[in-house]
Structure 1
Amino acid sequence: MKFITFTKKDGTVSAGWINSRNMAVDMNEASNGTLPDNILAFIENHEQYMEYIGKNKGLIETGNGSYPLNEVSLKAPLPNPKSVRDFYAFEQHVKTARENRGLEMIPEWYEIPVFYFTNHLAIRGPEDEIRRPQNCEWMDYELEIACVIGKEGRNIKAEDAEQHIFGFFIMNDWSARDLQRQEMKVGLGPAKGKDFATSIGPYLVTRDELESLKAGKGYDLEMVAKVNGKELSRGNVNELYFSFGEMIERASSGTTLYPGEVIGSGTVGTGCILELGTNVHRWLEPGDEVELEITGLGVLKNKIIED
C-alpha cells in the first residue's frame, strides 16, 4: 500500500492511502473514526489497523472519504517522525566524495555502518519550497532511500530486522556544504550543514510492495536525480554495501528503536553535487528545481528559494 498525508481543498490535513482507483482515501473519515487521522499513530498500531483494513477494505474504499488525487495536495507522508538517523551505506559515494577531497578510504568504514542524527523537526514534503540557509553558497541535494521502523526493538539482529520495517520512501538529505565543511574541521558534524531541511515522500510504500524486487543487499530500484529537468545522478538501491538490516542492527545496538523512527541509506553513488564536482553542475541556487525518483516510490520534487 502507498500511505500518504494530504491537504484537501478546504485546507484540512488528512492521512490514508492511494486506492486501486487512484483516489486518496482519508482513512479516519472512511472508517468512521476507527482508523487514526495521522500516519504516525497508524504506524504505532499498524498490525491492528492493517487487520481492520483487510477485513473492511472494500467497504472503506467504496464509501465516503475518497478524493481524486488531482484535488488534493500531497505532503510529507510522515510529517512528524520520532527521529531521523542517516547512514553512509553506499561505497561508491563515500569513495568518490573522499577522493574529491584528497582523502583515501578508511578501513573502519567497511567494519561498521555509521550514521548521524539529522533534524526530525525540519521535514518537508513533495512540492514544498526549500529555503537556502543564510550564508550558504554551496547548497546540495542527496539522493537517498529511507525506511520507517514499524515495530519496537532493541539489539535487533540484521537477519531479523525486516519484521521491524514498516515501509520505504524517497529521502533528500539537503546539505549546506560550506557550513558542513567549516563545522567538520572541528571534529563534529555534519549537523549544522544538514539542519535546515530533509524532504521525504511522496508516498510511504509498505515493505511487501517491494518484496519481489530484492537484489543484492537492497532492491532492484533505479534511483535518478534531476536538476531543472537535467539528469545528474543515476544509481540503484541494490548497490548498498550495508543492508537496511545491518543498519538497523547498528542503530538498535544498546538502544530501543520505536515505530515512526526513520533510517536513511545515505547517498547513492553519483547522488550529489559534492561527489559529481562543480565542473558537472554548479551548487544549487534559488529557483532551481530538484527532482528525485526511485522505482515504485514515486517522484519527490522541490524548488529552492532564498531564506
Structure 2
Amino acid sequence: MKLATYNNGRRDGQLMLVSRDLSQCVAVGAIAHTMQQLLDNWALFAPQLQELSDALNTGLLQNAVAFDVNQCLSPFPRAYQWADGSAYVNHVELVRKARGAEMPATFWTDPLVYQGGSDSFIAPTADIPLASEEWGIDFESEIAVVTDDVPMGVKTEAAEKHIKLLMLVNDVSLRNLIPGELAKGFGFFQSKPSSSFSPVAITPDELGESWADSRVHLPLITHLNGELFGQPNAGVDMTFNFSELVAHVAKTRPLGAGAIIGSGTISNYDRSAGSSCLAEKRMLETIADGQPETSFMGFGNTVRIEMLDHEGNSIFGAIDQKVVQYHPE
C-alpha cells in the first residue's frame, strides 16, 4: 500500500491512503489519524488499511478523491528518530580520495551513520529556505526505510521484518560548513539542515521483485534545474543493505516505531550513470582535473528526485524543490 500525509492545518497532518498509480486517495482517520499513529499500532492497523488499499486500487471506494501532491507534507512531518547512513562506500572512498586521505579498512565492515535532526522535515514540493549561498548548498538523493519497534541487539537476519515503509530522501547538505564541524570531532549539526522526503511512503511489497536482499533494485533519478543529473541504480554497489543498517543502529539501543533510517547518497562505480549529489561530481572533477568545475546550488536552483518502475510509472511521487533565500521574521 501507499500512504501520504496531507496538510490539514495541524502539525502532524492527516494520514491518507493513496492508490498505486498515485491518482486517487482517501482519508483514513477512522483507522489512524497520522503516520506515527499507524506505526505505533502497525500490527493492528496495517491489515485494515491493506483491505482499504485493495478496494481503492480496484475502484470500489466511492469517497476517493484526486491525489494532489501539493497538499502533501512530509509523510512524517516530524519523527522520533532520523539516522542517515553511508551505505555506498565507494562514495565515501571517492570523498576521501579527492582530499588525499586514506580510507580505514573498517569502513567496509562497519557502517557509517549520523543522527540527523528529525523535529522538522520540509514538504516534498516546498522551497528549501537557506540564508547563504556561501554555505555550499547540495542535495543528496537517497532512500530511507521506516521501522516499527525494533529491539536492541536485533540480528541482521531478523531486522528486515521490522522494515514497514520506504521513502525517497533529499538529505540537504551544506558542504562548506562540514569541514569545520568535522574538525571538532563531534559530527554534523549546522551543516545538516532539514531534510525532505517523497510525497508517498510505500510498503516494500509495492516494489515487487525490485525489493530483494533488503535493497531497492531500481535507478534513483535526479534532475538539477530540469536537466538529468544522475540515475545510479540503488541496488548496485550498496555495501550495507537496509537490514544491516537497521541492525547496526539498534546495536546498543532499541528503535521506536517510526524510526527513519537512510541509505546515504546513492552511488555506482559505473560513473556513466551520473551522481546523486553535487559533491560527488565535484570530487570526480577534482580527481580528473585538479579542481572542481561544477558549482553548488544557488537561490532559484531546482532539484527533482524520483524513482520509476519498469513501466515508467512514478512509485513514490517526486521530491521537487527550489532553493530560496531565507529571511528571518
Same fold (TM over 0.5): yes
User: Aligned partners of 2:296 and 2:20: how far apart in 1?
Assistant: 40
Kindly provide the amino acid, as one letter, of the partner of residue 40 in structure 2: E
Equivalent position of 1:152 in the other structure: 150
Whether the 8 Å contact between 2:78 and 2:119 is mirrored in structure 1 is: yes
Contact 1:217 1:241 in 2 (8 A): no
Name the SS for the 1:236 alignment partner.
coil
Distance verdict in 2 for CA 1:45–1:181, change over 3 Å: same
Shift of 1:219: 2.2
Runs ≥4 residues deviating over 4 A: 54-65
Paired residue for 2:2?
Answer: 2
Distance in 2, Cα, partners of 1:54 & 1:177: 42
Question: Counterpart of 1:47 in 2: which secondary structure?
Answer: helix
CA distance 1:87–1:72, change in 2 (3 Å):
closer
For 1:255 and 1:151, locate their aligned partners in 2 and report how far apart those are by CA, in whole Å. Answer: 11
Matched, 1:290 2:303: yes
**Is residue 24 from structure 1 mapped to residue 25 from structure 2 by the alignment?**
yes
TM superposition shift of 1:151 = 3.4
One-letter amino acid of the counterpart of residue 230, structure 1 = E
SS of 1:145's equivalent?
A: strand
Q: Tell me the equivalent position of 1:273.
A: 278
C-alpha separation between the residues in 1 aligned to 2:62 and 2:14? 14
Which residue pairs with 2:257 in the alignment?
Answer: 259
What is the aligned partner in structure 2 of residue 102 from structure 1? Answer: 100
3-state DSSP of counterpart to 1:238: coil
Q: Deviations over 1:249-275 (max 9, x none)?
A: 111112101110100001112221111
In the alignment, structure 1 residue 220 sits paired with structure 2 residue 217? yes
The whole-number CA distance in structure 2 between the counterparts of 1:280 and 1:80 is 36
Kept in 2, the 8 Å contact 1:217–1:242? The answer is: no
1:229 aligned partner:
226
TM superposition shift of 1:72: 5.9
SS at match of 1:182: helix
Question: Does the 8 A contact of 1:117 with 1:191 survive in 2?
Answer: no
State yes or no: 1:205 paired with 2:206: no
1:230 deviates by 1.4
| SS, match of residue 191 in structure 1 | coil
Separation in structure 2 between the aligned mates of residue 233 and residue 8 of structure 1, nearest angstrom: 35
* Corresponding residue number in structure 2 for 1:174: 172
Identical-residue share of aligned pairs (%): 23
Change (3 A) 1:216 1:92: farther
Higher strand content, 1 or 2: 1
Q: Distance in 2 between matches of 1:53 and 1:243?
A: 28
Structure 1 unaligned residues grouped into runs of 5+: none
The letter for the 2-side match of 1:252 is A
User: How far apart, in 1, do the equivalents of 2:101 and 2:232 lie?
Assistant: 23
Q: Rate the CA distance shift 1:72–1:288 in 2: closer, same or farther, 3 A.
A: closer
One-letter amino acid matched to 2:197: I
What are the within-5 Å matches in structure 2 for residues 36-185 of structure 1?
36-55=32-51, 62=60, 65-70=63-68, 73-134=71-132, 136-185=134-183
Aligned letter for 2:303?
A: V
Which letter maps to 1:127?
T
Q: In the alignment, which residue of structure 2 is the partner of 1:14? A: 14
Residue deviations 1:99-132 (CA, integer Å, cap 9, x gap): 1222222211012112011110131121111112
Shift in CA distance, 284/54, structure 1 to aligned 2, threshold 3 Å: closer
Is the 2:88–2:264 Cα contact (8 Å) retained in structure 1? yes
User: What displacement does 1:54 show?
Assistant: 4.3
Match in the other structure for 2:271: none
Residue 78 of structure 1 and its aligned partner are, at CA, apart by 1.4
The separation in 1 between residues aligned to 2:300 and 2:234, in whole angstroms, is: 29
CA offset at residue 85 of structure 1?
0.3
Instruction: Kindly provide the amino acid, as one letter, of the partner of residue 200 in structure 1.
Output: F
Cα 1:101–1:52 change in 2 (3 A) is same
* Offset, 1:13: 4.1
Aligned to 2:311: none
1:176-219 C-alpha deviation (Å, 9 max, x unpaired): 1111121112222222200x210011211101212411356622
Cα 1:288/1:135, change in 2 over 3 Å: closer
**Structure 1: distance between partners of 2:304 and 2:162:** 29
The 3-state SS of whatever aligns with 2:198 is strand
8 A contact 2:140–2:277 mirrored in 1: yes
Q: Distance in 2 between matches of 1:72 and 1:298?
A: 11
Q: SS of the residue aligned with 2:232?
A: strand
CA distance 1:137–1:114, shift in 2 (3 Å): closer
Q: Distance in 2 between matches of 1:217 and 1:6?
A: 29
CA drift of 1:7 comes to: 3.1
CA contact (8 A) 1:151 1:165 kept: no
